[in-house]
A and B are shown apart, each in its own frame.
Chain A
């Protein structure tokens, strides 16, 4: 599903360049639950952004679902963001001005989904996450764990094939973290969604079935 060939990423610094990723080769198959681990500054977030089509590699080839990413135009990428890819962020990144219900609904709006289908989808998700009672609250009225739950709900509502999660439990305490990770595992097993997460914690990595360790921009 995802294949990286000799991916590098560097930024110009002065006369030289600052290398973040060096010749990364990687294959992620459909249905895998992958954890990217490594110390701070090792390049794991950059790798995740490249995987999520938010950043472009400086060198190398990236095949997403068998297609070369650097050959895609903006429209095609936007299409992927609307359908195939879901994001979960460490800082949740919910829209403060929208209610729980509306936050979850937003990706469907960008997909131009008819209103009735949208309603049933959002209702299903709310039901599944036990958040029906909270649907009219605003993000700042929720706890961190609940906000992240909404974040995940929003990521899966458009039924993506892969979710990229950037330290999804980084801002949560351990009880909340545990339930979020269990949710990811469930999504992976029951729904067959491929999950790629960046994490510091071995405990979290334990929920997945593959660990990619990264050090100084290289995959070990």
Chain B
């Protein structure tokens, strides 16, 4: 019996090659895309699960009711961990965590690595197994350093590293460390990543922050005792917060902050460590990926699968009229309805199984491109996990049930006699079919619409003037090897005689995102005229405004002629507005935190020193000794840029011989800033193309079927004198109607979703109605091309022939 079904199924697939091809192609594409996207989503959600009892790990964060809006902050003050551990028995283990680049020297060889700063509990509370050494003591000694296996192998080769001495510097002086342990490789799904770990006290800002509750610069991760009620714990901690931040909470109340529903102005809350990777609301330990992005990937996967299933259903049901006779006959031969149903489901299962089998090698072929385009760190190993295999089989059965089950149901419900009598005018279940086509095209139009909006926004971001010269300025990351200030002086001297270099300066942060990917922000709040104002500080070198082509609104720039400029500040217009003074030049800003009076010496015109996600915020340029110079900026003549780049490279090699030259033009950095948006747009482009192609494939096959069913009608109409145009109209009219309905459904949805997305940006395009209309028209045009050929063929066919065959 099964063999009989199987045979019929295979012969049917072979006989209707177009349909088989379309179904197979659609399902293969859908399965491949689903595999890629679902595995990526699974991968991202599996972050940090390798720790033992990971549900007991939490990261602490502040929720502060600032007057404008509540803010979340994971950055913690130095005394916090100690206070939590001493006062609350629920805290079993805890560590502070920070990370920085470092340079390691051993036997005269230099290595550049990522250095983590942690507390002694670090290796006890996390599951980073040690290959050599023991966990509780690994960070106990003040000058201990723990290396990962890869780092240890790179530095020591075959030597036993335990007990060896290394020289390490990370933003401060060189220090000697003794290797106490070697850790196994860190799983790729770990938020915490490092090449080496040293005790937290070695952080270069540590001495300045000891005992201070208002200076924050690291994350705290706690392991609470198993079974701790987190809500109760957070409540218990509230007393400590209210005590330590009494003054700050007072300031908040004075500035008009509104208390949270529970009456608090500032809370210390616990974020489950497992959620950290997929929560992009806070910066801090580890890279994050926004959950909405993952949900978007999921919905794209579901959309694509849905479209492929619709094709399958429509084609199976549409073709069922040619198979009604077979079904009716089988019933008279004694087939039970479930046997007929099983047969049709089986045919769906065969196609799906084929598609799945093809999609797995395709998955492996496509994976590297996918990883490159979407910046995914997905690994093929994910595919071997039992959970994944089980869910692949599960979704496979679900898809065959959806795609094969409905047609099977239609078939089994048919009345045998009427079929055999030839009375049954199967209407190819019009309502459902039309609904499914509308659904397909609505998705396609939605995706095309989103693509157009995202693409316009991206162009807008890139083309918008930022208020400074980005095309002529090269930014060079200083790196770990040399001190920024010294490097700036050296470079200035070297480039002095270079005619193609216009000016040289330094800056604490990069503009945009450089090749090094690094970022640095320094913002602080202080009281001015009994109001708390927060601003960002950019630490600059001389000639900053000149290098960046910034214009002064009033006052003056930093100058070598004034020895007092180290306590001077150049503010932007936004800051001047915030201060609410007519002429801010000469005003004194009392920065209590740093014990500094800063004198405003000038006002610079607003420029976008951050990405266009944010409006221009209050900002000050300073030449403050305690802040680093992390990037050197060189303004060059616009001609012959590659040659200049080469010269900069050779000069840099003399200044920092062991470091790589990673300079890049600011406009490249600015583009890099919008990588996320670019990826977002790319996903839409790919999804839209797949959606429209698959939908049109289905439409094509349906048009062929519709024409086949109406051959006689078309023949009669032609014999009665219908024109070619009217025949084409007759066929296309129905489909066009459906696509127009899809447009009406999809356009407001696209508008709605994209306005939400655009809210992310302080500067965004206005969605134009004709972009969305264009999306619909594109879909319509593609669809018309698809069915146009078939209908023309039908219209030109000789009516006598079609009438004869009936």
Interface residue ranges, A against B (CB under 8 Å): 45, 49, 52, 54-55, 74-75, 78-79, 81-83, 87, 89, 91, 93, 95-98, 102, 105-107, 109-112, 154
- Rounded to whole angstroms, the CA-CA distance of A28 and B1 in the bound complex is 35
Known A-B contacts: A52-B332, A96-B326, A110-B334. Give 12 more (CB < 8 A): A81-B333, A82-B333, A82-B334, A93-B329, A97-B8, A97-B15, A98-B7, A102-B7, A105-B4, A110-B1, A112-B1, A154-B333
| B8 engages A95 (CB within 8 Å) | yes
Tell whether B260 is near chain A: CB-to-CB under 8 Å. no
> Contacting A54 at CB < 8 Å: which of B1, B4, B417, B422?
B417
Tell whether B649 is near chain A: CB-to-CB under 8 Å. no
| A109 engages B332 (CB within 8 Å) | no
Contact-residue size bin, chain B (C-beta under 8 Å from the other chain): 20 to 34
In the complex, the number of residue pairs spanning A and B with C-beta atoms less than 8 Å apart equals: 63
Q: Given A97-B11, A102-B7, A106-B4, is A54 in contact with B416 using a C-beta cutoff of 8 Å?
A: yes
| B325 engages A93 (CB within 8 Å) | yes
Nearest CB of chain A from residue B710's CB, rounded to whole Å: 22
Contacts of A82 in B (CB 8 A): 333-334
Closest to B5 in A: A109
> Chain B 1-18, CB within 8 Å of chain A: the 1/0 string?
100100110011001000
The 3 closest A-B pairs by CB, nearest first: A82-B334, A81-B334, A110-B334
B residues 305-362 near A (Cβ < 8 Å) are 325-326, 328-336, 339
B residues 522-576 near A (Cβ < 8 Å) are none
| B417 engages A49 (CB within 8 Å) | yes
Contacts of A93 in B (CB 8 A): 325, 328-329, 420
B residues 10-44 near A (Cβ < 8 Å) are 11-12, 15
Q: Given A49-B417, A55-B417, A97-B11, is A107 in contact with B329 using a C-beta cutoff of 8 Å?
A: no
Contacts of B333 in A (CB 8 A): 81-82, 87, 106-107, 110, 154
| A95 engages B329 (CB within 8 Å) | yes
> Contacting A95 at CB < 8 Å: which of B326, B339, B422?
B326
Closest to A56 in B: B417
Closest to A83 in B: B334
- Rounded to whole angstroms, the CA-CA distance of A88 and B11 in the bound complex is 25
| B334 engages A111 (CB within 8 Å) | yes
| A106 engages B420 (CB within 8 Å) | no
Contacts of B336 in A (CB 8 A): 74-75, 78
Closest to B326 in A: A95
| A109 engages B4 (CB within 8 Å) | yes
- Rounded to whole angstroms, the CA-CA distance of A154 and B326 in the bound complex is 14
Closest to B329 in A: A93
> Chain B 378-421, CB within 8 Å of chain A: the 1/0 string?
00000000000000000000000000000000000000110011
- Rounded to whole angstroms, the CA-CA distance of A182 and B325 in the bound complex is 28
Nearest CB of chain B from residue A165's CB, rounded to whole Å: 13
| A97 engages B12 (CB within 8 Å) | yes
Closest to A53 in B: B332
Q: Given A54-B417, A55-B417, A89-B420, is A98 in contact with B8 using a C-beta cutoff of 8 Å?
A: yes
Nearest CB of chain B from residue A58's CB, rounded to whole Å: 15
Nearest CB of chain B from residue A84's CB, rounded to whole Å: 10
Contacts of B416 in A (CB 8 A): 54
Closest to B337 in A: A74
| B334 engages A107 (CB within 8 Å) | yes
Closest to B336 in A: A78
Nearest CB of chain A from residue B412's CB, rounded to whole Å: 12
Contacts of A52 in B (CB 8 A): 332
